[in-house]
Structure 1
Amino acid sequence: MNLELFIAQRIHFNKEEDRKVTPPAVRIAIIGIAFGLAVMILSVAIVIGFKKEVRNKVIGFGSHIQITNFDSNASYESTPIAVSDTLLNELRSFPGISHVEAFATKPGILKTENDFQGIVLKGIDSDYDWTFFRNNLKEGELFTIHPDKNSTDVIVSRYLANLLNLKVDDSFLTYFVQEDVRARKFHITGIYETGFLDYDKIFVIADIKQIRRLNGWDKDQVSGLELQINDYDKLDQIAEDLYFDMADKHDRNGNTFYTRSIKELNPMIFNWLDILDINVVVILVLMLAVAGFTMISGLLIIILERTNMIGILKALGQNNTSIRRIFLYVSFFLIGKGMLWGNIIGISLCLIQSYFHIITLDPSIYYLDAVPIDLSIFSLILLNIGTLCVAMLMMLGPSYLITKIEPARSIRFE
């Protein structure tokens, strides 16, 4: 039999009515652990969810990696590259690449009877992956691109639809300012809403052949290629490998290919997301400190109220290490109970927010309409193990108080 564990169980589970100080102190310690762990679970779930949602929206509009003309400027009026079947096959077989699609962009002015708005027409081809816009489609349907037929169908954002009083099946004119001002009439088949207003304000998705005709491009000319990868964690490495692989290649017109990851295309957004990790670290440290100090207070009170018992155990020959182990077991029971309640509270709040979106956000500031939640089993296990280890390590210090207790004096202690 483990004597220390047996005594610790008797101390923890025995209901003693004559002890007036221990129960409140124990409850405060348990509440401190529960509160700290619940806040940590919420913090990690919110930050991971926020980073993932914002990141996915940026990637939805621009994919993981883009290959464009090295001479292209920062505007949406791009210099084209000619894409051959050989290049496409090489990219599709490149390690880590899961999908390759062509795109073209052209700025214009969307005009209705009563209003107008600057937009960017993003042309896509029949190889386009519609997953992102399918998940964010609010009204109507997506359009189909036929290889041998020009389509005037487009999808617009809810922001533009509300701003210009447009709805599904409406038509509008878009004017393109170039050497000769040109106009095109488009038909709305669907309305999307991503909540990412920086892009929702401007992007209208159309057939890439419309932009080729406006610019006088050949069938193989595009603004660039968008590449999706299998594992986001390998984005930097894949982008770097692809950059050097494409650096010495040229299209049939002698243009150099320029490879950039979505992080390089949107450095401010991704730097801002990286800074959020610092906030999580600060919250975790503060919550661990709060939980740890409440547990230290609770353990000290338990030790002081058990001074008489400690003296008797020492008089019977129990050494300091064994007695310290008894109170560390007691601490483990208290921490475990607090962590149980912390998990219940934290996970429950995460599930409530995830399903009911009780806490909302302003999309114009946060790019999301509600606080996002993303809590993996791995993160939850890591938080629990970390909390338990840190809390138990903090208990080692106050347990040294036991070594200062003298049997002769403590047995008389009341």
Structure 2
Amino acid sequence: MNTELFIARRLFSAKESKKNLSRRIVRLAVAGISLGMVVMILAVAIVIGFQREIAAKVNGFSAHLQIVNYDSNQSYQTIPIDEDQAFLPALDSLSGVRHIQCFATKPGIIKAGDEIQGVVLKGISSDFDWRFFDRYKLAGERIPLDSSRTDQVWISEQISKLLKLKLGDQLLMYFLNSDEKLPRIRRFTVGGLFRTGLEEFDRMFVLADLRHIQRLNNWSDKQISGFEIFIDDLDDLDAVNREVRALVLENLEADAPLLRVSNVKEKFPYIFDWLNLLDMNVWIILFLMVLVAGFNMISGLLVIILERTRMIGILKSMGAANANIRKIFLYLSAFLVGKGLLWGNIIGVALCLLQQHFKIIHLDPASYYVNTVPVNLLLSHLVLLNLGALAVTLLMMLGPSYLVGRISPEKTIRFE
């Protein structure tokens, strides 16, 4: 039998002297650990939620990877490539690739009454993945892309408010080609409204039939701006990016235009750099909370040792070594820390679930890109938080536990 563990359990579950000072100090230390764990759980869950929610919105507009003409610059006026490419079958079966779709873009100006707004017309085809826009749809139905060319477009709620447009209204769009002096005019009908909260993109993109852009640019029905590639996991972006580039280069034909593969982090570095800065904030919060919890437990352990001075003296007189007595108090510390972590987990997870399901805390989307505080709590992160907090706190307990060695048994046995 583990004698040290047995004694620690008895001390932990002791019912006597609940009104003394040490009991109150220990309770405060346990409460401090619980509060620290709640803050750590919320910090990790909210930051991961922010990162995943905003990244998902950016990817919904621009995809994880794009294959375009190498001569196309960063503007939305692109140089066409052929829709039939030799690498497509191999790319479709590439590990980590979820979906491939063709697209085309063309900048233009919307005019509705006396109001105008510069936008980017994004042409989509029958292979378009609607899951992202279905999630943020406010009204309307999907654009019918299987039949003949349609005049229906999807605009954001922000554009509809700026231009005073509603579902079913008509609007005029003006487009300029570099070799033409007069703009080309197209009339569209609002067939759908969406709101993602990513206002920079909401006020920019308008979804339309890709065949309109082909006609506006005098392209053939096989020419497009490029391909959009969606992957299963954003963490695999760099690896999949390298594989896609290698695949495109291997299948490049001698007389075909050179193609370029770009990823979403290269196109919008300011957004992903901001998201990466949040990681540093989380590490600072975790460090401070673990430090506070450790010092709380150090004060609690010192009080417990001082309160149990007579017991320590009796154990030493019976032949117990300092190392064995230290184990007793380290086991007791582990029980107290575990109790604090347990309550911290219960409260932290409960708060995360409440925010996730009831959207209690709201944010300004103009500043934070989301309407409510996003929460994404993973079991693996929860386990690592608990193990890390327990390990660091117990390591901080080693120093105070050596106070046991300075206690003299002949003096403490007579202590009342």
CA-to-partner distance for each residue in 1:19-52, whole Å, 9 max, x for gaps?
6221111111101110111100000000000000
What's the counterpart of residue 14 of structure 2? 14
Residues 369-408 of structure 1 mapped to structure 2, 5 A cutoff: 369-408=371-410
What's the counterpart of residue 169 of structure 1? 168
- Report the 3-state secondary structure (helix = DSSP H, G, I; strand = E; otherwise coil) of the residue aligned with 2:325: helix
Measure the CA separation in 2 of the matches of 1:57 and 1:312. 66
Of 276, 282, 303, 2:278 maps to 276
58-67 vs 261-270, greater mean Cα deviation:
261-270
What's the counterpart of residue 294 of structure 1? 296
What's the counterpart of residue 144 of structure 1? 144
- Report the 3-state secondary structure (helix = DSSP H, G, I; strand = E; otherwise coil) of the residue aligned with 1:118: strand
Measure the CA separation in 2 of the matches of 1:234 and 1:29. 42
Measure the CA separation in 1 of the matches of 2:137 and 2:271. 24
What's the counterpart of residue 30 of structure 2? 30
What's the counterpart of residue 5 of structure 1? 5
What's the counterpart of residue 63 of structure 1? 63
- Report the 3-state secondary structure (helix = DSSP H, G, I; strand = E; otherwise coil) of the residue aligned with 1:144: coil
Gapped runs of 5+ residues in structure 2?
A: none
Q: Does structure 2 conserve the Cα–Cα contact (< 8 Å) formed by 1:82 and 1:252? A: no
Q: Does structure 1 conserve the Cα–Cα contact (< 8 Å) formed by 2:116 and 2:163? A: yes
The residue type equivalent to 1:13 in the other structure is: S
What's the counterpart of residue 155 of structure 1? 154
Gapped runs of 5+ residues in structure 1?
A: none
What's the counterpart of residue 365 of structure 2? 363
What's the counterpart of residue 73 of structure 2? 73
Q: Does structure 1 conserve the Cα–Cα contact (< 8 Å) formed by 2:87 and 2:251? A: no
The residue type equivalent to 2:155 in the other structure is: V
RMSD: 1.6
Shift in Å at residue 230 of structure 1? 2.6
What's the counterpart of residue 189 of structure 2? 187
Give the percent of matched residue pairs that are identical in Structure 1 and Structure 2: 49
What's the counterpart of residue 259 of structure 1? 261
Q: Does structure 1 conserve the Cα–Cα contact (< 8 Å) formed by 2:87 and 2:247? A: no
Shift in Å at residue 250 of structure 1? 4.6
Shift in Å at residue 272 of structure 1? 1.5
- Report the 3-state secondary structure (helix = DSSP H, G, I; strand = E; otherwise coil) of the residue aligned with 2:86: helix
Q: Does structure 2 conserve the Cα–Cα contact (< 8 Å) formed by 1:105 and 1:123? A: yes
Measure the CA separation in 1 of the matches of 2:370 and 2:253. 40
Measure the CA separation in 2 of the matches of 1:389 and 1:81. 57
The residue type equivalent to 1:313 in the other structure is: L
**Change over 3 Å in CA distance of 1:208–1:347 after alignment to 2:** same
Measure the CA separation in 2 of the matches of 1:181 and 1:234. 43
TM-score by length of 2: 0.96
**Change over 3 Å in CA distance of 1:19–1:95 after alignment to 2:** closer
- Report the 3-state secondary structure (helix = DSSP H, G, I; strand = E; otherwise coil) of the residue aligned with 1:73: coil
Alignment partner of 1:101 is 2:101? yes
- Report the 3-state secondary structure (helix = DSSP H, G, I; strand = E; otherwise coil) of the residue aligned with 2:265: helix
Of 189, 202, 219, 2:204 maps to 202
Measure the CA separation in 1 of the matches of 2:99 and 2:8. 60
Shift in Å at residue 393 of structure 1? 1.4
TM-score by length of 1: 0.96
What's the counterpart of residue 236 of structure 2? 234
- Report the 3-state secondary structure (helix = DSSP H, G, I; strand = E; otherwise coil) of the residue aligned with 1:86: coil
In the comparison of the two structures, how many residue pairs are matched? Answer: 413
313-322 vs 286-295, greater mean Cα deviation:
313-322
Measure the CA separation in 2 of the matches of 1:5 and 1:264. 56
Measure the CA separation in 2 of the matches of 1:222 and 1:372. 36
- Report the 3-state secondary structure (helix = DSSP H, G, I; strand = E; otherwise coil) of the residue aligned with 1:95: coil
Measure the CA separation in 2 of the matches of 1:73 and 1:19. 74
CA-to-partner distance for each residue in 1:253-283, whole Å, 9 max, x for gaps?
6311000111111111112211211111111
Shift in Å at residue 95 of structure 1? 3.3
Shift in Å at residue 309 of structure 1? 0.8
**Change over 3 Å in CA distance of 1:161–1:35 after alignment to 2:** same
